[in-house]
């Protein structure tokens, strides 16, 4: 109940109210969110496909990751900021929405997977860099592909349920 009161107070603040009531503000922020998210998904999938041994097979994993991940984090920061602004405009509706909750859970799991894969990857860099990817690398890549696909799907469903 306290959380719902806090969310109600959040969406009544001047900026969230302006986003909700404006004709162009919400679509503009949503466009920025989608554009950034598209780049997050595209760059992460490039790394995932390398982990699975499908794309960029002849290049070291560390090189592909070093090229892609700075873009991933930059785009993620922009997507997260735009997402928070969108959330603040209809906080109570989003909070009660099942696809939105699924998206948040998958984001958390994708973050955990990424942290684990970073930890494992740096410990076994030699094995991940050359030849056929080890099972742990394939598992991390597969889980990431699945989670990001679910994040996109849940995000799209939010548009139909809120």
Cβ proximity to another protein: between 7 and 143 the closer is 143
Kindly state the smallest distance separating residue 38's Cβ from another protein, in Å.
5
Of 39 and 120, the one with the shorter C-beta distance to another protein is 39
Residue 10 Cβ, how far from another protein at the closest point, in Å? 24
Q: Minimum distance from CB of 74 to another protein (Å)?
A: 12
Side-chain half-sphere exposure of 66, counting CA atoms within 13 A: 8
92 contacts 159 by C-beta, under 8 angstroms: no
Query: CA-to-CA distance for 47 and 137, rounded, in angstroms?
Result: 11
| Nearer Cβ to another protein (54/136) | 54
Quick one: DSSP state of residue 119? H
- Quote the least distance from Cβ 153 to another protein, whole Å: 4
Exposure letters 62-85 (e unless 16+ CB within 10 A, then b): eebbeebbeebeebbebbeebbeb
Binding residues for another protein, rule: CB under 8 A, are: 27, 30-31, 34-35, 37-39, 41-43, 45-46, 55-56, 59, 63, 67, 149, 152-153, 156-157, 159-160
Q: If you search the block for the tokens 């999938």, which residue do you land on?
A: 45
Nearer to another protein, 38 or 77 (CB): 38
């Amino acid at each position: 109940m306290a959380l719902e009161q806090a969310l109600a107070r959040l969406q009544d603040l001047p900026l969230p109210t302006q986003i909700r009531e404006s004709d162009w503000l919400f679509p503009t922020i949503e466009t920025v969110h989608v554009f950034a998210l598209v780049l997050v998904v595209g760059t992460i999938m490039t790394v995932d496909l390398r982990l699975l041994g499908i794309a960029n097979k002849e290049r070291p994993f560390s090189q592909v990751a070093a090229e892609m991940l700075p873009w991933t984090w930059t785009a993620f920061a922009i997507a997260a900021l735009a997402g928070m602004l969108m959330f603040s405009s209809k906080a109570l509706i989003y909070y009660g929405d099942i696809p939105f909750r699924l998206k948040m859970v998958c984001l958390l799991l994708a973050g955990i997977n990424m942290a684990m894969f970073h930890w494992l990857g740096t410990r076994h860099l030699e094995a991940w860099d050359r030849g056929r990817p080890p099972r742990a690398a394939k598992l991390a890549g597969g889980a990431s592909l699945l989670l990001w696909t679910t994040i996109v799907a849940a995000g799209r469903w939010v548009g139909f349920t809120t």
